């Protein structure tokens, strides 16, 4: 789901602005999940929602996830699907590093080697854009910076979500987050371009909403059954799928990143470094 998401988003943003697109992602997911949980009688327990501590944690996680969505799509607008997916791999890596501080975990030597491989891979993948990020700071560089901040927001969301899952099930938390996102983006949404959407773009918009429901629902449920490190290892495969699709399948309106051999090696190192850091425990 996450591998094909930036491609679908880019197709929709040919007509809709990033904020409006993100509003529909949240609102569609919320509208679909709400009746499902009502019928299953699995709405969040009111008693838990009245707890000030739980309420603050839900609000904080929801706003961090909302910020992640907004910054990611704004960064995607200024870069390319491949660049966005490789850079957002900072998110699971930061989650692993957060484990050192918050959950008092320890890295093995192999994990530190994986982390060094990950950082080296990022530098290699973006070797022809480093000046834009650190010197000239043009649109592409600003876009990459937005995605970096989006990764930080996602890490904060994931850490809080891990604590929330001690009291709520994954569906309960995601329902609250979807409605927080929909309400946060509603005042900034522009509905006037909707008639201009083609049939394909309507399909892509619907897919983006379903993508939100399936991908984050699956992620939240995975955290219940697996260690965060193992979940991160699976997520690390995402950019390879995006790079392969964009590079091998020409699509109208999708600008492929100009990748050299060194950039492809960098993408592979990012993935291998992420997986090694995630699973190479003592």
Element (H, E) at 161: helix 139-164
* CA distance linking residue 229 with residue 145, whole number of Å: 25
* CA distance linking residue 116 with residue 29, whole number of Å: 37
| Tokens read off for 85 | 């997916």
Tens digit of each residue's pLDDT (9 = 90 or more) over 139-172: 888 999 999 999 999 999 989 988 888 888 888 8
Q: Model pTM?
A: 0.87
CA distances 248 to 22, 98, 128, 237, Å, are 27, 36, 21, 17
Q: What share of the chain is helix, strand, coil (3-state, %, to 5)?
A: 75, 0, 25
* CA distance linking residue 144 with residue 274, whole number of Å: 19
Question: CA dihedral in degrees (74, 71, 179, 218; nearest 10)?
Answer: 100
| Tokens read off for 23 | 């509003």
How much is the pLDDT for 127?
84
Domain ranges in the chain are 5-279
Tens digit of each residue's pLDDT (9 = 90 or more) over 70-79: 999 999 999 8
How much is the pLDDT for 282?
59
């Amino acid at each position: 789901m996450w591998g094909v998401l930036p491609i679908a988003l880019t197709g929709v943003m040919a007509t809709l602005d990033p904020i409006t697109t993100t509003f529909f992602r949240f609102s569609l997911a919320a509208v679909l999940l709400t009746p499902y949980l009502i019928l299953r009688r699995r709405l969040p327990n009111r008693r838990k929602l009245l707890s000030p501590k739980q309420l603050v944690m839900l609000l904080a996680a929801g706003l961090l996830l909302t910020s992640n969505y907004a910054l990611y799509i704004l960064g995607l607008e200024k870069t390319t699907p491949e660049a966005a997916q490789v850079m957002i791999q900072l998110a699971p890596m930061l989650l692993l590093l957060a484990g050192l501080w918050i959950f008092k975990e320890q890295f093995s030597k192999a994990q530190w080697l994986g982390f060094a491989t990950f950082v080296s891979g990022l530098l290699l993948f973006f070797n022809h854009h480093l000046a834009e990020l650190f010197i000239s700071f043009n649109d592409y560089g600003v876009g990459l910076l937005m995605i970096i901040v989006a990764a930080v927001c996602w890490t904060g969301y994931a850490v809080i979500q891990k604590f929330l899952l001690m009291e709520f099930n994954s569906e309960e938390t995601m329902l609250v987050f979807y409605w927080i996102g929909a309400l946060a983006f509603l005042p900034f949404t522009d509905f006037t371009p909707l008639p201009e959407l083609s049939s394909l773009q309507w399909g892509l918009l619907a897919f983006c909403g379903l993508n939100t429901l399936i991908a984050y629902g699956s992620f939240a449920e995975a955290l219940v059954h697996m260690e965060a490190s193992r979940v991160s290892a699976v997520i690390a495969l995402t950019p390879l799928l995006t790079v392969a699709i964009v590079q091998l399948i020409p699509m109208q309106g999708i600008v492929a990143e100009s990748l050299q051999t060194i950039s492809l090696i960098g993408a592979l190192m990012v993935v291998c470094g992420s997986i090694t850091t995630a699973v190479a425990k003592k």
